[in-house]
Structure 1
């Protein structure tokens, strides 16, 4: 169970890093927001889901 939570945290850190770099680059590039808006919203939804799943899985570890 601990390994599962560690993998969830690792994926959360990787996705957070990608979003921290990707969102400002997308917003700064002309015309990119319209093309990648759905991808960014999907990534943010996955990020929120990872936070919820990680917190639930972490509550089972004593």
Structure 2
């Protein structure tokens, strides 16, 4: 169970880094927002799910 929690935290950190770098780039590029907004919203939803999953799994790991 501990390895699963560590993997989830790794994916959360990776996704957070990608979003912190990617969102300003997409917003600064002309015409990219319309093309990539579904990807950004999906990534934000995945980030939210990861935060909730980490909270649930951390209550089981001691």
Which TM bucket (shorter chain)? over 0.9
Segments of 5+ residues of structure 2 without an aligned counterpart are none
User: RMSD of the alignment, in Å?
Assistant: 0.5
Segments of 5+ residues of structure 1 without an aligned counterpart are none
Number of equivalenced pairs: 62
Distance (Å, rounded) in 2 between the aligned partners of 1:55 and 1:4: 12
Where in structure 1 do 4 or more consecutive aligned residues deviate above 2 Å? none
The TM-score normalised by the length of structure 1 is 0.97
- Residue equivalent to 1:61: 61
- Residue equivalent to 2:48: 48
The TM-score normalised by the length of structure 2 is 0.97
